[in-house]
Structures are given as C-alpha cells and as structure tokens.
Amino acid sequence: MNKFFTRAELIAKRAEWKAAAKTVVFTNGCYDLLHPGHIRLLERARSLGDVLILALNSDDSVRRLKGPTRPLISETDRAEVACALAAVDAVTLFDEDTPRELIAAVLPDVLIKGADWAHFIAGREEVEAAGGKVMALSLEPGYSTTGIVEEILTRRP
C-alpha cells in the first residue's frame, strides 16, 4: 500500500476513515534527519488513534523555517523514509509556513506536536472547534536535528 498522498488524495482518504469511524491523528514537521526522538514521538502519536498522518514541510518550507542550509535531506527522500515507518499510515507534504490550511481541510480527531511547539500549535483552533483534541507531547531528551548537525560540525578536525 502506498502511504504517500497528495493533499486532495489525503482529504478523500480522511473522509473514508471518518466513515469507518477511525480515529485520525495528525502531526507534522521537517523530519530532516530522522532520529530516535522522532520515532518515539511518532509511536506515541500513533498509539492515540487508528491512523497517523505525518505532514512534512516541503523543501521550500524547511528553508524558510530553518535557513538556507536546510533541509539536509530532500522532501522526496524524507517522504520515502517516513512512508517506511511502521507507526505512520499516511504521509503528505505542505509548502506553507505552517500546516494550518492542511489541518483545516483534514480535520483530524487528534492533533499532536512536540512540546517544543506547545506555545504555538498551528491548526489548534480548527481542530478544537470541530471537537478534536490537541496535545503537545514531551520530547525525547538529547535528540534534535539541529543538535545533531551542531555536533557533527564540532567534531570536524
């Protein structure tokens, strides 16, 4: 089964999941260098429902968010890796600065972000207005892509 969906395909699939009374969980991020912190967050998110959607920032969106040296891994490759994860049922890309429009279109039952974004969870208002839950999950200490990149750079001779 192909896990990658365009926005239109994902919206149609969401309607199928809703008709089947499946609880849909949604999270998003760059997922530039996949690390154990990502995996553990995705596994916790998946445990909260029947279906987990992972929306990845497009390359342009990552550049605007993280700067001109990112992403390190292309959106196509990040999507391929995400599709291979057991916890993830659906993967899509978004090009906007935040996934608010995508979230409003999909209206997941549960919206998840890492606790580092608890101060601003795009789509919160839309999900809560539709009766859904919004949660900020704690992050795995010691794991961040930015931290890994900085560590690599400090190890250079």
* DSSP category for residue 117: G
In a domain? residue 11? yes
Classify the C-alpha dihedral 12-47-109-98 as positive or negative: negative
Indicate whether 55 belongs to any domain. Answer: yes
Which range of residues forms the domain containing residue 81?
7-87+100-110+131-155
Of the candidates 50, 46, 57, 35, the one whose C-alpha atom is nearest the C-alpha of residue 146 is: 35
| Cα 144 from Cα 147, distance rounded (Å) | 5
Domain annotation covers residue 119: no
Q: Is residue 141 part of a domain?
A: yes
Tokens of 55: 């929306």
Give just the sign of the alpha carbon dihedral 84, 100, 17, 52: positive
Residue pair 90/55 in contact (Cβ under 8 Å)? The answer is no
| pLDDT on residue 1 | 53
- N-to-C CA span, the chain: 45
Q: What is the pLDDT of residues 101-135, one digit of tens each?
A: 999 999 999 999 988 877 889 999 999 999 999 99
Residue 14 lies in a domain: yes
Question: Is 106 within the bounds of a domain?
Answer: yes
92 assigned to some structural domain: no
Q: Tell me: the pLDDT tens digits for 71-112?
A: 999 999 999 999 999 999 999 999 999 999 999 999 999 999
Q: Is residue 97 within 8 Å of 55, Cβ to Cβ? A: no
Q: How many domains does the chain have?
A: 1
The strand ranges marked E within 64-142 are: 90-94, 110-114, 133-137
Q: What is the CATH number of the domain that holds 46?
A: 3.40.50.620
Considering the domain boundaries, does residue 148 fall inside one? yes
Query: Is the pLDDT at 156 greater than 90, yes or no?
Result: no
